[in-house]
Amino acid sequence: MLFDASRGAAFCVRHVRLQIAGALCTVVMAGHGAPAAAAEAWPANPLKLVVTFPPGGSTDVTARLVAEKLRADLGRPVIVDNKPGAGGNIGADFVAKAAPDGYTLLMATSSHVTNRTLYKSLPYDFVQDLSPVSRVAFIPNMLVVNPANVRVNTLAEFIKYVKDTGAKARLNYGTGGNGTSHHLATALFASMVGVDMEHVPYKGGAPAAAALLGGQVQVLFAPLVEVQSFVEAGKLKGLGVTTRERSPLYPAVPAIGEALPGYEVALWNGIMLPAGTPADVVGKLNTAIVKALAQADIKQRLAEQGSNPAPNSPAEFRQFIAGELGKWAKLVQISGAKVD
């Protein structure tokens, strides 16, 4: 039998075409399945949780507690990476510009909301460039005085003292810096009491507390964790907390809103991801955070620093942030704080 060259060539061409078509089909199918497979595999790598403040502060301590629980639940290391500076903007900008793959997380705080009004311009958009996952906790500020210098025992007595003294001379109040929660909480208090007080900014909460202990200032509103040890030692006296409800850690200390209806300055923190992170990855991380914050040991450890766990859904966290933007903008306006 003679070999038909033309028929053989045609067969070869058809065979090659089938191989190419099969390969293309495999590539297309793999391409369609890649995102789903990637999402199912998340997390396949270690996670980085960016804290925008130095180690040792309340935000850092909370972040490390959460990271420990996430590591146990997700089965991957969760590395806390401190990137302080510019009121938290350096670390937030880093996360906003990171790949939206679920591996770079931001420990966001109420400071990041404040910064939208406080700073003239920012290199990132907190609302558009970041995706909310879950709120973590509320943190009260506490109004404290040095009992050796301000001889009052109750919040009502202090309000009377402020009014009486303010009519003669301006009281000095310390803060951790211009536009900090110390500053905004005090400015709101002064405006509601109807007195002018002299703002003395320091480079952080610790120097401000030291100034109160040394008698350089008469009043300080500070995150509970910054003054807790001094209150327990009797060196400072806690007169009120800035949250709507009393702190479980100090149930005898009233909420300032009990004496000044409408007063509330609640600090908070929460987890966010770069915008564009797949919704199922956001959902998985949210589930892990909610699960972590429901555990008795982390509740206890947060309570020890005055924090109250407050997880929510991504949609609820987004809505919460939207409400916070207007509230903190108003506080910045009342305080007159600005940062160039």
pLDDT of 5 > 90? The answer is no
Q: Is 33 inside any structural domain? A: no
pLDDT of 90 > 80? The answer is yes
pLDDT of 246 > 50? The answer is yes
pLDDT average, residue stretch 257-284: 96
Q: Is 200 inside any structural domain? A: yes
At 107 the pLDDT is 98
Locate all alpha helices (DSSP H) within the chain, ordered by sequence: 5-41, 58-74, 89-96, 110-118, 155-166, 181-193, 205-214, 224-232, 279-293, 296-304, 314-335
**Is residue 153 domain-shared with residue 244, that is, in the same domain?**
yes
At 305 the pLDDT is 83
At 121 the pLDDT is 92
**Is residue 52 domain-shared with residue 100, that is, in the same domain?**
yes
Q: Is 199 inside any structural domain? A: yes
**Is residue 75 domain-shared with residue 166, that is, in the same domain?**
no
Distances (CA, A) of 110 to 161, 168, 257, 321, 325: 30, 35, 20, 9, 9
Percent pLDDT > 90 in the chain is: 72
Of the candidate ranges 12-26, 208-222, 253-267, 311-325, the one whose mean pLDDT is the lowest: 12-26
Average pLDDT, the chain: 88
pLDDT of 29 > 90? The answer is no
pLDDT average, residue stretch 181-207: 92
Query: Which of residues 258, 276, 303 is at a domain's end?
Result: 258
Q: Is 126 inside any structural domain? A: yes
**Is residue 56 domain-shared with residue 114, that is, in the same domain?**
yes
- Give 139-179 pLDDT, tens digit per residue: 889 999 999 999 999 999 999 999 998 767 789 999 988 88
**Is residue 218 domain-shared with residue 156, that is, in the same domain?**
yes
At 248 the pLDDT is 86
Q: Is 72 inside any structural domain? A: yes
At 168 the pLDDT is 77
**Is residue 51 domain-shared with residue 127, that is, in the same domain?**
yes
- Give 271-280 pLDDT, tens digit per residue: 999 999 999 9
Which domain covers residue 276, as residue numbers?
A: 47-138+266-335
Q: Is 9 inside any structural domain? A: no
pLDDT average, residue stretch 93-116: 96
**Is residue 134 domain-shared with residue 273, that is, in the same domain?**
yes
* pTM metric for this prediction: 0.80
- Residue 133 C-alpha from the chain's centroid: 11
**Is residue 78 domain-shared with residue 102, that is, in the same domain?**
yes
Count the domains in the chain. Answer: 2
Select the more confidently predicted residue: 53 or 101.
101
**Is residue 222 domain-shared with residue 298, that is, in the same domain?**
no
**Is residue 179 domain-shared with residue 234, that is, in the same domain?**
yes
Of the candidate ranges 36-45, 218-227, 241-250, 308-317, the one whose mean pLDDT is the lowest: 36-45
pLDDT of 238 > 60? The answer is yes
pLDDT average, residue stretch 231-252: 94
Closest listed residue to residue 109, CA positions, set 95, 88, 127, 79: 88
C-alpha to C-alpha distance for 310 and 196, rounded to whole angstroms: 34
C-alpha to C-alpha distance for 285 and 290, rounded to whole angstroms: 9
Q: Which CATH number is 304's domain given?
A: 3.40.190.150
pLDDT of 227 > 60? The answer is yes
Token pair in block for residue 332? 């910045």
**Is residue 144 domain-shared with residue 241, that is, in the same domain?**
yes
At 27 the pLDDT is 42
How many other CB atoms are there within 10 angstroms of residue 111's CB atom? 22
Query: Which of residues 258, 279, 306 is at a domain's end?
Result: 258
Q: Is 62 inside any structural domain? A: yes
- Residue 138 C-alpha from the chain's centroid: 9
At 63 the pLDDT is 96
Point out which residues pair with 240 in neighbouring strands: 143
Q: Which CATH number is 188's domain given?
A: 3.40.190.10
Query: Which of residues 258, 281, 313 is at a domain's end?
Result: 258
**Is residue 181 domain-shared with residue 87, that is, in the same domain?**
no
Q: Is 13 inside any structural domain? A: no
At 169 the pLDDT is 79
At 177 the pLDDT is 87
pLDDT of 92 > 60? The answer is yes
